[in-house]
Structure 1
Amino acid sequence: MFKQFLSKLPRKSSKSESDESPRGDSSGRSESPRAKNNRSHGGNEGGKSNAGKRNSSAAVFPTGSVSLIEPLVPFKDVSSSEKMNLFVSKLSLCCVAFDFTDPAKNVVEKDVKRRTLVELVDFVSSFGSSRFSEPAILAMCRMCAINLFRVFPPNYRANNRGGGGENDDDEPSFDPAWPHLHLVYELLLKFITSSCLDAKVAKKYFDHSFISSLLELFDSEDPRERDCLKTILHRVYGKFMVHRPFIRKSINNVFYKFVFETQKHNGIAELLEIFGSIISGFALPLKEEHKIFLWRVLIPLHKPRSMGVYFQQLSYCVTQFIEKEPKMASVVIRGLLKYWPITHSQKEVMFLGELEEILETINMVEFQKVMVPLFWRIGYCISSLHFQVSERALYLWNNDHIVNLIAHNRQVILPTIFPALERNSQSHWNPAVLNLTHNVRKMFVEMDEKLFLTSQSQYKEEEAMLTLESEKRNEAWKQLEHTASLKPVVGNTAVLVSPI
């Protein structure tokens, strides 16, 4: 088995190389890069016939330059001029994939690969003499693609409900291959962040296809893998400026699919965390593209039931937008009111928490644009029978900035929420909510006693009118029932009868 493992390495004498690298002679000499480049552009008929193979995703390794390097030789045992060739050869050795679900299978080969990966990580960390060659970049991309890019089987996400959803307390799933995958991720991260990697050359290999494959891995159920991916994608975004619009667009597509189609994805929190850093780097004034992202992506992300899994990251992104451009505060509040949960009390508590963060930074002009519908909704929360919702809404009056906004607009706000305060003080079942309600009522009395008494009088008048209308309806129904009871029953005609 070990011989088969090593036999997969590309060598001059191997059949696979003879198929992909046809030669005019049978000598064992290595080809120069210039000769290989000429042949790839149609230098002979053999090169033309195999152009499709060289252009495929399984790109040909620069085997001609490494065929005489034994991959198990330590880096310290070769000269500086040969270290890059040995690096490529060791990457080639790591392109063999194993089944990690069976710990007793290929034990020796797995250990060789693990030690090789550790050696590669150390080499990249300490490499600082020159730039990584183009064959080395190609070899790194291919090795990562073979080891990392995979499709998760259906049962891998069978119990997934949006990265947690109703099963937030469930234990996360851990990939049995993680000790091996972790080394590959660490090597990729070291390679991308290395000062010896030329971004202008590497952008050809860390291309849109590579980035898309990385994004697909965010649906992994292993939180350790998602954390590594988060760091790597953030570094890719910082390293390759030319790919930034594509990365943003691709992440947006993941969000769109999650919100409007599946509502199932494990990596929403990590992707939002990446976007939080991206938003902090937006230049002012904000581009229209970024404003559209806020309205069409971030605000609809409040809709799924599993919002609690990524709420902190989502709230951070929203507040970052408002800090960048305060005029967006009223837009965000309207969006929250649009997606306000009616039957999900825990989400309602989270919405109130996010609302408080927004109100802490909002200016008076933006506040006045939304205060009527906002406090109409807060009034409903105050009178909620779920004590946590009512309690969280009343806690808004513990914030000095919010109290100052309310005080300056009390002529509009107090009449809007007074019915909720009055109903709470008369009939709410929870003692803590009753105490908070009395405190808020006392604050309004201290703000403007005359307005408070006027609102109280208006509330009593409205309640009297409602009572009178209710009595009229009851009387009308009684008259209908009496009239119907006097008429004889004919056939199968339905009639109103008085209750027994």
Structure 2
Amino acid sequence: MIKQIFGRLPRKPSKSAESREDSAATATLSSNSSVNSRSGESSISRPLSSHNFVTPGSYSEYCYGGKTYPTIDSKLNGNLLSPTYEALPSFKDVPISEKQNLFIKKLNFCCKVFDFTDQTKSLKEKEAKRQALLELADYVTSVNGKFTEYVMQEIIKMVSANLFRPFLPAPREGKIIEALDLEEEEPLMDPAWPHLQIVYELFLRFVGSAETDAKLAKRYIDHSFVLRLLDLFESDDPREREYLKTILHRIYGKFMVHRPFIRKAINNIFYRFIFETEKHNGIAELLEVLGSIINGFALPLKEEHKLFLVRALIPLHKPRCISAYHQQLSYCITQFVEKDCKLADTVIRGLLKYWPITNSSKEVLFLGELEEVLEATQPSEFQRCMVPLFHRIAHCLSSSHFQVAERALFFWNNDHIDNMIKQNHKVILPIIFPALERNTRSHWSQAVQSLTLNIRKLFSDHDPELFEQCLQKFEEDEAKQNNIKAKREALWNQLEDIAASKALTATHQTSSLEN
């Protein structure tokens, strides 16, 4: 049996004062990765297993994100093992002085990429490579002493050869897939995952190892490497995106020099997704990494971070497929408000700008996020945006979609929001009163009527005089509307009578001419 290598290395705290923004971020990612991921559990701790895979295409080079990348085109399609590898012993069979040389040789062997489109091809070679990858991962974990620059170069070469590959569109039974349909489709699993998973695990252990000197490693884990790693978030396989999420966060924490570049590169991915394609598989995972990074931002917030909120995070509410990543987006938004309460007005007005008018399920998501933001909002910021906010909430209260109306009515179950509403009820009640009154009189949902009556009673008990004024104004407005409606109907009836009279006259004239 092949031993399994899985399990995380403990993260070594950074000694630099500059890394204080990320200390909390690392802890957040570690505690929330399995909860927030779309796959439901962390793939890092999942044992190796076989799957029924979808077959991708073969390749020798590919173009992705406007760049052309060479790949290793493996020709190992026979049944003979590489003679070089057959001569390689196990690490336990060589003296300590020879282990590094053996490590390099096994890395070179693992640079060979096999074709997994045919599960019956090159079985011996694939299994030999898999065994070698397992040994390499164990070696990275157990090594004593710093990795040399040459070893780092060879590790990055092997990782690049295996991971950086094209994502060719796989057929889905001839269907044209829309952005919303992807949420209901089964994820496509990479047939090369038995090898890829071990490569990811090896690289994760290498990045997290205390024996990896960041000053040397940054020469090979450079901007170009980071960009290609970010390109991999387009993978259809959720297991791969889960590894990428953890690795990206480790790189962000270890290589402080790359932090501004990583944030800028993620911004560019979001911009392209929002304003061009609206299709990307890894938005949720990228937001999960950013949530941990934002959690570690030092105060006061830099202007760069505030611009990121306004230009990237808030516009992420625009795409139709927001439900695929809304949980992670909402967390990032709320983190900003908790860091700087003055951003609440900016966030709320941004939500109102992108508010869905014809998509009820999306509207329910917005209301849930709005409640989380309001819970972190201070009364002074609440007063700045409460008028446009409660005009929108009034529309939601009277929505014919019962889930939208109920979700808006649930705001009064939140003590913090309820207190802010009571403090400003003289402004808020006149705005929402018509919606409350129409709900109690004519809404089709009994549950909505019942909730509305409870809230109506709260206002009535809190300020009976204002409540009566609002009720009187509502009755007057309703009477005016009924009068206008009656006059309009009378005018239409008059026009119909005139039209019918002219038609009858024209008919008589035609009959007279015919006679």
Q: Which residue of 2 aligns with 1:410?
A: 425
What is the rounded CA distance, in whole Å, between the counterparts of 1:69 and 1:153 in structure 2? 31
Q: Which residue of 2 aligns with 1:45?
A: none
2:451 corresponds to 1:439: no
**Which of 256, 262, 268 is the equivalent residue of 2:271?**
256
Give CA-to-partner distance per residue, 1:55-91, whole Å, 9 cap, x none: x9899xxxxxxxx998722223333333222211110
Q: Which residue of 2 aligns with 1:127?
A: 143
Map 1:259-408; keep pairs closer than 5 Å: 259-408=274-423
Q: Which residue of 2 aligns with 1:89?
A: 105
Q: Which residue of 1 aligns with 2:240?
A: 225
What is the rounded CA distance, in whole Å, between the counterparts of 2:420 and 2:363 in structure 1? 22
Q: Which amino acid aligns with 2:481?
A: L
**Which of 121, 140, 153 is the equivalent residue of 1:105?**
121
Paired residues of 1:71 and 1:90 also in contact (CA < 8 A): no
1:480 is displaced (CA, Å) by 3.9
What is the rounded CA distance, in whole Å, between the counterparts of 1:58 and 1:262 in structure 2? 26
Q: Which residue of 2 aligns with 1:428?
A: 443
Q: Which amino acid aligns with 2:131?
A: R
Give CA-to-partner distance per residue, 1:206-247, whole Å, 9 cap, x none: 011111111111111110000001011111111111111111
Aligned length: 426
Q: Which amino acid aligns with 2:197?
A: H
Cα distance, 1:83–1:324 mapped onto 2, change above 3 Å: same
Give CA-to-partner distance per residue, 1:24-76, whole Å, 9 cap, x none: xxxxxxxxxxxxxxxxxxxxxxxxxxxxxxxx9899xxxxxxxx998722223
2:220 corresponds to 1:212: no
Deviates most, 408-417 or 149-158: 149-158
Q: Which amino acid aligns with 1:78?
A: V
1:161 is displaced (CA, Å) by 4.3
Paired residues of 2:183 and 2:324 also in contact (CA < 8 A): yes
SS of the residue corresponding to residue 221 of structure 2 reads coil
What is the rounded CA distance, in whole Å, between the counterparts of 2:142 and 2:424 in structure 1? 63
Q: Which residue of 1 aligns with 2:259?
A: 244
SS of the residue corresponding to residue 297 of structure 2 reads coil
What is the rounded CA distance, in whole Å, between the counterparts of 1:189 and 1:491 in structure 2? 88
**Which of 75, 78, 81 is the equivalent residue of 2:94?**
78
What is the rounded CA distance, in whole Å, between the counterparts of 2:312 and 2:464 in structure 1? 44
What is the rounded CA distance, in whole Å, between the counterparts of 1:294 and 1:75 in structure 2? 50
Cα distance, 1:76–1:147 mapped onto 2, change above 3 Å: same
Larger Rg: 1
> Relative CO higher for 1 or 2, CA cutoff 8 Å, sep ≥ 6?
2
What is the rounded CA distance, in whole Å, between the counterparts of 1:338 and 1:270 in structure 2? 25
Map 1:23-172; keep pairs closer than 5 Å: 72-128=88-144, 130-155=145-170, 161-162=178-179, 165-172=180-187
Root mean square deviation, CA, Å = 2.2
Paired residues of 1:319 and 1:358 also in contact (CA < 8 A): yes
What is the rounded CA distance, in whole Å, between the counterparts of 2:212 and 2:238 in structure 1? 28
Paired residues of 1:144 and 1:188 also in contact (CA < 8 A): yes
Paired residues of 1:340 and 1:348 also in contact (CA < 8 A): yes
Q: Which amino acid aligns with 2:276?
A: E
What is the rounded CA distance, in whole Å, between the counterparts of 2:156 and 2:95 in structure 1? 25
Question: What stretches of structure 1 of length at least 5 have no aligned partner?
Answer: 1-55, 60-67, 493-500
Deviates most, 336-345 or 473-482: 473-482
What is the rounded CA distance, in whole Å, between the counterparts of 1:111 and 1:168 in structure 2? 34
Paired residues of 1:70 and 1:86 also in contact (CA < 8 A): no
Paired residues of 1:84 and 1:133 also in contact (CA < 8 A): no
Cα distance, 1:238–1:161 mapped onto 2, change above 3 Å: farther
1:101 is displaced (CA, Å) by 2.2
SS of the residue corresponding to residue 429 of structure 1 reads coil
SS of the residue corresponding to residue 320 of structure 2 reads coil
Cα distance, 1:177–1:159 mapped onto 2, change above 3 Å: farther
Could you tell me the TM-score, scaled by structure 1's length?
A: 0.81
